Structure 1
Amino acid sequence: MPRLLGVDIPANRPAAISLTYLYGVGNKTARELCNKAGIEPTVRASELTEDEVARLAALLDKDYVAEGQLRRQVSQNITRLRDIGCYRGIRHRRGLPVRGQRTKTNARTRKGPKKTVAGKKGVKDLR
C-alpha cells in the first residue's frame, strides 16, 4: 500500500483514482499528476515502483497544496471568520449550517444523532 503525504492510498485501485483519496486532490488533479510524473493513470497503485511514488510525492510538494497544508489553510480561514464575527463565523461557532441550508426539519445529517435529555418524562398528576 503506497503512502503519500502521510496517507495510505488504496493499492487495488488505478493510480488516478487512488490519488483522489488525498485531501485536495480530485479527478482532474490526479490525472495531471499522473501525466506530469509519467505514470499511466490506469495502472494499479500496488504496481507503482518506489521511484514513481517518490516522483508523485515531489510533484505534490512542489506544485500543489494538499493534505496537511490545505487543511491548515481551511482551518485558519474558519478561525478568521469566527474572529471577525461575520455571519458565517457565527454559524461555524454555533455548529449550524453555514451555506444557506435550511434548519427547520431533517437536520440530523448536520447535527448528528439525536441526543436525549434525561428527566423529560411526562408530568405525574398530583391528586
Structure 2
Amino acid sequence: MGNHEEDAIRRQINAIAEAIGAKDLESLEQVYAADVVSYDIEPPLQHLGIEAKLKNWAHVFLVFERATYEVRDLSLVLGDDLALGYAFARLSGTLKNGTATNGMWVRVTYGFRKTDGAWLITHDHVSVPLDIQSGNGVVDLEP
C-alpha cells in the first residue's frame, strides 16, 4: 500500500470539509457508502444508511449560515481494501442568527472500504470525552 492510497483517503476527508463549506449534500454523498453506519454526535445512538447521514449534514446547513470543518492530526492505517482513520475535528462558523461560534473539538474515527476503486466511509464515530462525576460531555478541550 503506497502513498497513492493514503493520498486518496486524505482527499476524501478534504472533500468532506469542502462540501460542508459549500453546503453541498451531493458532494458529501459521494464520500459515504450507501450502507454507512454513523455514530454521530447527535442522537440517536446510530444513524443507518446514507439518507440518515445526509440528514445530519442537512441539519448542520439549517443551523449554520457559514460552516467550516477542520480536521487535525489525521492518522491512517491501510489494508488492501479496508482502512481506518482517526483524528480530531471541529465544526465552526457563523450561525443563521449571525452568532460566530468556534464550535467544539470532537474525536472522530473513519472506517473506509475501497469499492469500485474509491475509498468510501462505511462507518464514522464522533465523540466527546465524558466527565464521569457529572455525566456531562466535556466540550472545551483542544488538541
Q: TM-score if structure 2 supplies the norm length?
A: 0.23
Q: TM-score if structure 1 supplies the norm length?
A: 0.25
> Which structure has the larger Rg over C-alpha atoms?
1
Q: Which structure's relative contact order is higher, taking Cα pairs within 8 Å and 6+ residues apart?
A: 2
Q: Which has the higher strand share?
A: 2
Q: Which has the higher helix share?
A: 1
